Amino acid sequence: MKRLGGSEDGYHSDMVETESVGSDRVAYSGPLSGPLNRKGGKKSARFNIPESTIAGTSAADDDAYVEITLDVRDDSVAVHSVKAAAGGEIEDPEVTLLARTLEKKSSSLGSSVIRSASSRFRQVSQELKRLASLTKRTGPGRIDRSKSAAAHALKGLKFITKTAGGAAGWPAVEKRFDELAVDGKLSRPLFGQCIGMKDSKEFAGELFDALARRRNIVGDSITKAELWEFWEQISDQSFDSRLQTFFDMVDKNADGRITEEEVKEIITLSASANKLSVIQDQAEEYARMIMEELDPSNLGYIEIYNLETLLLQAPNQSVRVGTTNSRNLSQLLSQKLKPTLEPNPLRRYYQSVKYFVQDNWKRIWVISLWLTICAALFAWKFVQYRRRAVYHVMGYCVCAAKGAAETLKFNMAIILLPVCRNTITWLRNKTKLGGVVPFDDNLNFHKVIAVAIVLGVGTHAITHLTCDFPRLLHASDEAYVPMKPYFGDTRPNNYWWFVKGTEGWTGIVMVVLMAIAFTLATPWFRRGRLSLPGPLKRLTGFNAFWYSHHLFVVVYILLIIHGIFLYLSKDWYHKTTWMYLAVPVILYGTERLIRLFRSSIRAVKILKIAVYPGNVLALHVSKPQGFRYRSGQYIFVNCAAVSPFEWHPFSITSAPQDDYVSVHIRTLGDWTRQLKVVFSEVCQRPTDGKSGLLRAEYDDMDDRSPNQSLPKVLIDGPYGAPAQDYKKYDVVLLVGLGIGATPFISVVKDIVNNMKMVEAEGVADDIEAGQNVSSGRTFRTRRAYFYWVTREQGSFEWFRGVMNEVAETDKKGVIELHNYCTSVYEEGDARSALIAMLQSLNHAKNGVDVVSGTRVKSHFARPNWRNVFKRIALNHRGQRIGVFYCGAATLTKELRQLSQDFSHRTNTKFDFHKENF
């Protein structure tokens, strides 16, 4: 049942209902299905409708309702009228259709009872009768039918959802039956695949058994007719039917009672379906907790209404939303906020161009300047050779080849600048260039220049080999005379003459080396996406990329040699290759020397090692003297025990105020896998309830035997990253995907530390006016939304301490934490219903979430990012929001598009920053 004027995701506006029995009217707050007794009477329910959907009602009017008058009897529900209480017409399509249908039938039948006016009200009737009977049965201890509880109940226990192929319906199920059935019968192991639960075979098997028991079907196979009966029941939208089906799954002996052992079995089954290994291991403990809650009399069993109690008492998961915003929030969530299509194609094109320029103006001017320089260099060299004598022999080919060579010199010089990390970090931290230069795109610019180099090499080499060299080889003796100062008195007679010369072999070797480096740097090779046989596997992975990229040292040496031994330029001041390269090469070489020197003198001592679920290694080291960094930055880590030459970047997870530096390293490649192996050998099992599968503390180091000595670790940095700019915004949205949460853990800890500092100094009563006294600077960020999306339950172990600290420290609601576990089926799916019950019960009793193991309640499946942006846009109208994303590139496009849509559609501006790995 869908509430009129409400939203389906838990953000609902204030709703007031009144109930009358006989002549007495009793105020009641809750959904339409409130507690009613068995006596007949007229009921009047008033539902709040968003102001924008009621014509003739001002936006400031908070008392707009649609009023539905019902006549409830023992066996029927009658609808007398549906109208807007404020006198306005209802413009919501669903409400309008419902109102017109009911009023039409009402007018045709007079004021008599309208039975089963629509499919929706038939469900309402069933629900009202069920609640009335339940009230009579349970007596004084009746179930709380509050608004949030009923909403949660009506959304829960769905066996057919999007993830279970519910959108396809029976035709798709029937088609799969025809494909899977043998001799006209479907076997139990294939039942899950047939109904769309391919990934939950165990759960589907238990569902099959429950449905078969209810129909006294013996055996492990069913016919198409029996499958239709099964499908009809599991797709039934009635809450009673869904509850009964779920109860039958738990009640395996069909005696109408559920024992603790049966509860344990269904917990294990649900945990297995949702890949929650921790809950599987603690199934016995959670079963005991459920029995203690629902069986206080120690009868040894619970019945169906006890299970219903647990479901209805599970509060709906929601975020902290002020009551003053609830009505506006309901309005905003009901809007799509998608730009309407401009009918005029010229205006539409103008708008798209305008928005593109607004969102990318920093990139546009940098790329435009670079392209202008490249074009100018090409044109200058082209015209220069057009006026020389060689043009009469080699033609426009030599002009194009030399023009491309000039752009190559320039691009080979500036391609080093985006990877001068110390310089870029200094510029973004110490200057105001960050306001006009997109430093976050340094690696993207590096890749764009690499593509330009490929084009330049192709143009230069192809025009030489296929055009001007053949023209020279076939030139007449008279035409060759002007060429003698450049190619000698004897005219070259074949290609080998060009290849064996210094210009030729250096050019060929450079092309080969650059082709190797460029190929192994592509995502297919660098991320190991290609499946190569045997020894060729070494060509994939980060190591191959790392070492092949260092071939650039040889390339630059050969480039300088190639630029000195030119055919057509003999004067030293015309040999400009070294002039282009001098400054960038010296700058880059200096940076590498600084990194080497800095990492060698900044000795670090390992303080803690922990190996967590999900193949994550946490490394805590001492903070070197003078080592200062900002939250969101990263460092390079070197471990000689793995490779003395390789340095790998990792985001810093500690806060600047901490007396240590920490990184969390996930084993995604060959180097990280070997690093985990090296440290796992010296780690021990955790004790005293500490997290981490394996760990080693500094206190234990002195007692270690020589063969357990820790590997030496060097760090270099810090270096600038997009997340460090969060302090420029009063409000930030932090989105971490998997291990991409690491930079935002540092940001969250930094905000918490600043809150503590503000409270300790007593400077301000609220962080919104907070002044960091110790540093003498204003701490701008006063609101943070952190969304962490991860696939594995064990991932929450990585930052459990931080989550708990934020939950305990943040009394003013500055930081809003949202943990999403995507292995758990979405809210409402029967496969996750019991997990939701356990979650709410355990959090209420112990204050700990069963999924994450923290004080922060976890959400199921993936976030609805559009609704996330809608809510933030509402809460912070007219403000600029910093959106920071770190993780795989899969989510980048969606978040960037949403940031642009809401920036263009609302008066809230979203600045998107991303960091992919």
pLDDT tens digits for range 464-478: 888 888 888 877 777
Q: SS3 helix, strand, coil % of the chain, rounded to 5?
A: 55, 15, 30
Give the closest residue to 453 by CA, choosing from 567, 555, 565, 557: 555
Give the closest residue to 82 by CA, choosing from 118, 44, 39: 44
Structure tokens at 417: 């600048």
Place of tokens 């991409």: 740
Predicted local distance difference test score (pLDDT) of residue 340: 58
Provide the CA 39 distance to its chain's centre, in angstroms: 52
Of 71-75, 304-308, 370-374, 811-815, the one with minimum mean pLDDT is 71-75
Compute CA distances 143 → 40, 730, 840, 843, whole Å.
Answer: 21, 44, 16, 20
In the three-class reduction of DSSP (H, G, I as helix; E, B as strand; rest coil), residue 96 is classed as helix
Q: How many CB atoms lie within 10 A of CB 895?
A: 23
Structure tokens at 477: 């003796």
> What integer is the mean pLDDT of 596-600?
76
Asked if 459 and 400 touch (Cβ cutoff 8 Å), the reply is yes
pLDDT tens digits for range 246-303: 888 888 888 888 888 888 888 888 888 888 888 888 888 888 888 888 878 888 888 8
Buried b (16+ CB within 10 A) or exposed e, 604-630: bebbbbbbbbbbbbbbbbbbbeebebb
Place of tokens 């179930």: 143
Q: Which residues contact 665 (CB under 8 A, 6 or more apart)?
A: 616, 617, 618, 619, 637, 650, 672, 675, 676
Q: DSSP state, 884? A: E
Give the closest residue to 700 by CA, choosing from 794, 635, 767, 606: 606
Instruction: Report the distance separating Cα 758 and Cα 777, nearest Å.
Output: 12
The pairing of strands 221-222 and 731-737 is unpaired
Q: What is the full DSSP assignment across 754-774?
A: HHHHHHHHT--SSGGG-EETT
Q: DSSP state, 609? A: E
Q: Which residues contact 768 (CB under 8 A, 6 or more apart)?
A: 782
Predicted local distance difference test score (pLDDT) of residue 450: 93
> What integer is the mean pLDDT of 599-605?
73
Could you tell me the domains of the chain?
154-250 (1.10.238.10), 374-500+566-596 (no CATH), 604-700+709-718 (2.40.30.10), 725-762+778-822+862-914 (3.40.50.80)
Asked if 264 and 252 touch (Cβ cutoff 8 Å), the reply is no
- Ranges of beta strands (E only) in 667-790 are 694-697, 713-719, 731-737, 771-772, 777-778, 783-790
Structure tokens at 584: 């960038």
Compute CA distances 670 → 88, 618, 620, 795, whole Å.
Answer: 68, 17, 22, 21
pLDDT of residue 772 exceeding 70, the answer is no
Place of tokens 């740097």: 521
Q: Is cis: bond before 718, omega within 30 of 0?
A: yes
Q: How many CB atoms lie within 10 A of CB 892?
A: 16
In the three-class reduction of DSSP (H, G, I as helix; E, B as strand; rest coil), residue 436 is classed as coil
pLDDT of residue 407 exceeding 50, the answer is yes
> What integer is the mean pLDDT of 346-358?
81
The residue that leads in pLDDT, 593 or 96, is 593
Q: What percent of the chain has pLDDT over 70?
A: 73
Place of tokens 């809007």: 335
Of 77-81, 89-93, 607-611, 867-871, the one with minimum mean pLDDT is 89-93
Predicted local distance difference test score (pLDDT) of residue 260: 86
H or E segment to which residue 544 belongs: helix 542-549
Of 110-124, 194-208, 696-710, 862-876, the one with minimum mean pLDDT is 110-124
Q: pLDDT band at residue 575, thresholds of 50, 70 and 90?
A: confident
pLDDT tens digits for range 3-32: 333 333 333 333 333 333 333 333 333 333
> What integer is the mean pLDDT of 68-91?
46
Asked if 113 and 97 touch (Cβ cutoff 8 Å), the reply is no
Instruction: Report the distance separating Cα 667 and Cα 259, nearest Å.
Output: 43
Predicted local distance difference test score (pLDDT) of residue 354: 83
Q: Which amino acid is at 860?
A: F
Q: pLDDT band at residue 168, thresholds of 50, 70 and 90?
A: low
Q: Which residues contact 850 (CB under 8 A, 6 or more apart)?
A: 278, 279, 286, 835, 838, 839, 842, 843
Instruction: Report the distance separating Cα 42 and Cα 884, nearest Å.
Output: 54
The residue that leads in pLDDT, 629 or 690, is 629
Query: What's the burial of 174, exposed, middle or buried (CB within 10 Å: 0-12/13-18/19+)?
Result: middle
> What integer is the mean pLDDT of 731-758?
86
- Cα angle 724, 725, 730 (rounded to 5 degrees) comes to 125
pLDDT tens digits for range 408-431: 999 999 999 999 988 988 888 888
Structure tokens at 582: 């001098």
Q: Which residues contact 815 (CB under 8 A, 6 or more apart)?
A: 748, 751, 752, 784, 786, 806
Asked if 448 and 411 touch (Cβ cutoff 8 Å), the reply is no
Q: Which amino acid is at 602?
A: R
H-type helices in 434-483, by residue range? 442-463, 469-473, 477-480
Asked if 207 and 159 touch (Cβ cutoff 8 Å), the reply is yes
Compute CA distances 350 → 328, 339, 342, 365, whole Å.
Answer: 32, 14, 10, 19
Of 80-84, 249-253, 477-481, the one with minimum mean pLDDT is 80-84
Mean pLDDT value across the chain:
74
> What integer is the mean pLDDT of 74-98?
44
The pairing of strands 660-666 and 616-622 is antiparallel
Q: 694 phi and psi, to 5 degrees?
A: -135, 145
Q: Which residues contact 267 (CB under 8 A, 6 or more apart)?
A: 279, 283, 286, 287, 834, 838
Helices 577-601, 552-564: inter-axial angle, 10-degree rounding: 150
pTM over 0.85: no
The residue that leads in pLDDT, 50 or 414, is 414
Instruction: Report the distance separating Cα 510 and Cα 558, nearest Å.
Output: 7
Predicted local distance difference test score (pLDDT) of residue 708: 55
Most confident of 341-355, 552-566, 795-809: 552-566
Instruction: Enumerate the β-bridge partners of residue 108.
Output: none
Q: pLDDT band at residue 688, thresholds of 50, 70 and 90?
A: low
Q: DSSP state, 632? A: T
Q: Which residues contact 825 (CB under 8 A, 6 or more apart)?
A: 161, 163, 273, 274, 831, 832, 860, 861
